[in-house]
Amino acid sequence: MTLLPLDPDQLLSTTRAVRRRLDLTRPVPNDLIRECVAMALQAPSGGNEIVMRFVVVRDPAVIRAVGDVYAQCWTKYEASPRFAGKLPRHTDELRAQQGRVVSSAAYLAEHMGDCPVLVIGYLNRRLDGATGAAAAAALCSVLPGMWSFMLAARARGLGTAWTTIHLMMEEVVADLVGIPYATTQQVCLTPVAWTDGTDFKPALRPDPDAIIDWR
Ligand SMILES: Cc1cc2nc3c(=O)[nH]c(=O)nc-3n(C[C@H](O)[C@H](O)[C@H](O)COP(=O)(O)O)c2cc1C
């Protein structure tokens, strides 16, 4: 597979949450997904133990069913006080950015069930009742790999979008995709599809010094 000509900083700064620009019609070959998982596996893991897992959903009926659950969760999320559309933003530019994110997320909620592939990254055990420290240590053996999967997808012309609102109905989704809820912890559900064009831009972010404490 030919990779896009992106240097490391371009790859890191242009791997966006892709929603409206997902090509819902073009099939995604299994080999590309496998390559992205191979890249994910190069991420760090506690004790060098591979605890990250991926379920790749290609069956249109299952994708549709997961999409329906996702849409229900979106409706609940929109009504909740945590809804991103209700968060304060202090400049016109940030308000405009947030408006675009919310409208694009609403689009994905309508179309998750139309995507050619859905991937769920998960941990091979549950974290209910774990201390913050234990949960952080366990999740940190999955999240870097999930992000590497997304970077590798971007490098191959594929779009992804990190989503978690389906976790409101995690057990239902586990049953739909055939993973045991009792012994798994899902961390991310992402669509995977070719992108409409490959020109993505860095996002508006704070100055680094706004979040660094120099000691
Ligand atoms: C932990 C986490 C949870 C997220 N959950 C959702 C989600 O449920 N639905 C969604 O559309 N986007 C979700 N996102 C994507 C964010 O909205 C997105 O990363 C953010 O708006 C910045 O956009 P960008 O990644 O394109 O820069 C999530 C991202 C993270 C890191």
- pLDDT per position as a tens digit, 102-132: 999 999 999 999 999 999 999 999 999 999 9
Give the whole-angstrom CA distance, residue 14 versus residue 2. Answer: 18
CB 87 near ligand 1, within 6 Å: no
105 lines ligand 1 (CB under 6 A): yes
- At a CB cut-off of 8 Å and minimum separation 6, what does 25 contact? 116
Fold of 8-196: NADH Oxidase (3.40.109)
Residue ranges covered by each domain of the chain:
8-196
Query: Is the model's pLDDT at 1 over the cut of 80?
Result: no
Ligand 1 pocket test: which of 164, 173, 185, 186 has the largest number of ligand atoms within 8 Å of its C-beta?
164
162 lines ligand 1 (CB under 6 A): yes
Would you say 193 and 159 are in contact if contact means Cβ atoms under 8 Å apart? Answer: yes
Ligand 1, closest atom to CA 108? 11
Q: What distance, in Å, lies between the first and last C-alpha atoms of the chain?
A: 45
User: pLDDT tier at 47 (50, 70, 90 boundaries)?
Assistant: very high
> How would you class 181 by CB atoms within 10 Å of its CB: exposed for 0-12, middle for 13-18, buried for 19 or more?
middle
Q: Report how far Cα 202 is from the mean position of its chain's Cα atoms.
A: 17
The pTM of the full predicted model, rounded to 2 decimals, is 0.96
Per-residue pLDDT at 87 exceeds 80: no
